[in-house]
Amino acid sequence: QKEVEQNSGPLSVPEGAIASLNCTYSDRGSQSFFWYRQYSGKSPELIMSIYSNGDKEDGRFTAQLNKASQYVSLLIRDSQPSDSATYLCAEVDNAGNNRKLIWGLGTSLGVNP
Amino acid sequence: GAVVSQHPSRVICKSGTSVKIECRSLDFQATTMFWYRQFPKQSLMLMATSNEGSKATYEQGVEKDKFLINHASLTLSTLTVTSAHPEDSSFYICSAVGGVGNIQYFGAGTRLSVL
């Protein structure tokens, strides 16, 4: 059974700090990973995709992938209260060719003003 | 980015009626769309995979006769909740695969309340 695991939190950081969200996965053959953000009562929205080992930066967000250790992380710099949401980690299920995602349960992040 | 439109955003219906939810990819073609359900304070639960021109693939425990999925074109998939009951009240979300990198993009969701 392929799994994606996240600490459910809640993770609380002060405004302006760096928020660090972590995710581990069980399928060593996984190639494609995503971070989505979901505000309460809303649908998920894509923040980052990452496919290669190393860091990928987009504005205040940096995704990090380490395939040897099977973890993916998301760093949010200069955290803002508007970043308070649930962050979902997901990987593509390689068993099929339809881009089905295996989801973590999400980490709840609260940014305190 | 790719845009997925989902309608209606909210439905309130009487027990026993059927409700149709539409999911459209507006600026890309999507051979695959997914339907999820989410109860309050719970995680996303995949209900089914919708493939254009073929039968949907349902996840274990999801009744295919109750949740009818039609993916008649490359830009439209529909989910019909038949004979809805109060326990079907939930947040239904669709996603479509497309764009650069074949990524899942989500619709805004439909909040269904069955009285």
Measured between alpha carbons, how far is residue A24 from residues A33, A80, A102, A105, B21 in Å?
A: 11, 25, 12, 12, 34
Instruction: Say if the Cβ atoms of B106 and A45 lie within 8 Å.
Output: yes
Distance CA(B54)–CA(B74), nearest Å, equals: 12
- Cα of B23 vs its chain's centroid, Å: 7
- B10-43: pLDDT as tens digits: 999 999 999 999 999 998 999 899 999 999 988 8
Cis peptide before B40 (omega within 30 of 0): no
Cis peptide before A10 (omega within 30 of 0): yes
Interface of A with B in 12-41 (CB under 8 A): 32, 34, 36, 41
Grouping H, G, I as helix, E, B as strand and the rest as coil, residue B50 is: strand
Tokens of B37: 């359900």
Instruction: Say if the Cβ atoms of B107 and A101 lie within 8 Å.
Output: no
- B63-103: pLDDT as tens digits: 999 999 999 899 999 999 999 999 999 999 999 998 777 89
Q: Above 80 in pLDDT, residue A7?
A: yes
Predicted confidence at residue A110, as pLDDT, reads 97
Distance CA(B22)–CA(B78), nearest Å, equals: 5
Tokens of B51: 């493939």
Residue from the list A34, A98, A103 with its beta carbon closest to the beta carbon of B103? A34
Predicted confidence at residue A99, as pLDDT, reads 84
Contact B113, B89 (CB under 8 A): yes
- A8-63: pLDDT as tens digits: 889 999 999 999 999 999 988 888 999 999 999 999 999 999 999 999 999 999 99
Burial grade of B111 (CB within 10 A; 0-12, 13-18, 19 or more) = middle
How many C-beta neighbours within 10 Å does residue B85 have? Answer: 11
- A65-106: pLDDT as tens digits: 999 999 999 999 999 999 999 999 999 987 777 789 999 999
Instruction: Say if the Cβ atoms of B108 and A45 lie within 8 Å.
Output: no
Instruction: Say if the Cβ atoms of B103 and A46 lie within 8 Å.
Output: yes
Cβ contacts from A onto B, under 8 A: 44
If we measure between CA atoms, which residue out of B95, B45, B42 comes closest to residue A41?
A: B42
Predicted confidence at residue B1, as pLDDT, reads 66
Predicted confidence at residue B53, as pLDDT, reads 84
